[in-house]
Amino acid sequence: MTDDRSLLQNTLLRLGSAGAQARPMLVCNDAHRYIAAEQAQELGIQDTEIVLEPHARNTAPAIVAATLRAMRDGEDPVMLIMPSDHVLEDGPVLAAAFAEAYQAARQGALVTFGITPTAPLSGYGYIQAAESDDLAPARRVRRFVEKPSPEVAQRFIESGSYYWNSGMFAFQASVFLAEMERLAPRILQQVREAVAAGHGENSLFQLDGPAFEACPSDSMDYAIMERTDSAVVIPLATPWSDVGAWDAVWGIARKTAEGNSTSGDVMVEDSRNCLIHATSRLVASVGLDDIVVIETADAVLVAHKTRSQDVKRLVEVFKTQHRRELNHHREVQRPWGSYDSVGQGPRYQVKRITVKPGARLSSQMHHHRAEHWVVVSGTARIYNGDKQYLLTENQSTYIPLGEVHSLENPGKIPLEIIEVQSGAYLGEDDIVRFQDMYGRV
């Protein structure tokens, strides 16, 4: 949004300001496991640990899971918790705040970071700090206030004792777990069970589904920070945004003289202060003011910029209507690359499959569909029954229903093929895996 890197990548790079000694740990949903790993690898970070949540349970259970994993070898580290999707200016101010947080955490404090507010924004939570004390520059937290009115927020700013709640934390692992035991024991118990019954190697760990599903859903603020006596806030006077809605995206984005921020194939005529994002087709605007247009292959959003916080209401409607777009996307990431479902109809589906150099799909078969593959670019090594052969651009092959098969990219450039599936059932769960280099058998 602000440069050539993703928000997740900038968060990983921010660890340099924290002087982090241990390898980073990412907690995410299973659907994001491959893109998260790829984002880290693009930065040259090869030893990231990814903890997979089988169900969304808010921030407190996720942080507990990461803390338990960090302590598995008997260590008691100071943990730095950062949301992956915030915009935060890196530099000496941030580095100094992280150093102060480390010292406060070593003294037993549960640290949060308060952003010095620059406007009476009602979309953020606020933290009221007490007067300076023995933990200076950290200040004891007096209370948390959730999204006040603009008038109240203005009084907060004038008082000089309120900060925006950044959602970042630092603490000694054992201190945090002790507070969880005291204030939210059921969360701690369920996450302990999910970790104990989980599985995976050193770089990828899957929490146990049933145990984690039984865990209460609660935020770090509600479960601990608003109830503990050990909370302190470290003021942080640096540009920051939680990018929580599309108007916030517009606020941090590069803009033209007319105030428009565009990306993708966009044409703008007589429009001002708009955010227009296109990913799969041309989007053209005429005579628009303060409008958000977000076009993807799955859906198109059109909203007034001042109503962008209300997108969550649409999501609730989608849930009641059981809209497929909530959980199924046209483009899907896999450890070997990605696929894009470009078209489908009765008894057929067409996909564009991209395989990374050196990657290979699992050895598999399908009970209900056959497949035709056409190589568009690159070189493909095909495993089709007991046959093995190479295909290059404009060559094709046929995989009969029930045949064990696999696809590999032996080249140095991405392999792209068009796959045409035909059969009575074309769901992604019609896969029987026999061998897989990514541990999915």
Q: Indicate the domain borders of the chain.
A: 7-241, 246-312, 331-435
Fill in the amino acid letter for 15: L
* CATH class of domain segment(s) 331-435: mainly beta
pLDDT for position 201: 73
Q: How far is CA 344 from CA 49, 191, 347, 368, in A?
A: 37, 41, 8, 16
DSSP labels, 6-55? -HHHHHHHHHHHHT--SPPEEEEEGGGHHHHHHHHHHTT----EEEEESS
Query: pTM for the full model?
Result: 0.85
In this predicted structure, what is the pLDDT of residue 187? 98
* CATH, range 7-241: 3.90.550.10
- DSSP code per residue over 250-265: HHHS---TTS-EEESS
Tell me the pairing of strands 162-172 and 126-132.
Answer: antiparallel
Residue 425 CB partners (closer than 8 Å, separation 6+) = 368, 369
By DSSP bridging, strand 363-365 and strand 432-435 are antiparallel
The identity of residue 366, as a single letter, is: H
Regions in the chain scoring below 50 on pLDDT: none
Phi first, then psi: what are they for 3, rounded to 5°? Answer: -155, -160
Distance CA 21, CA 4 (A): 26
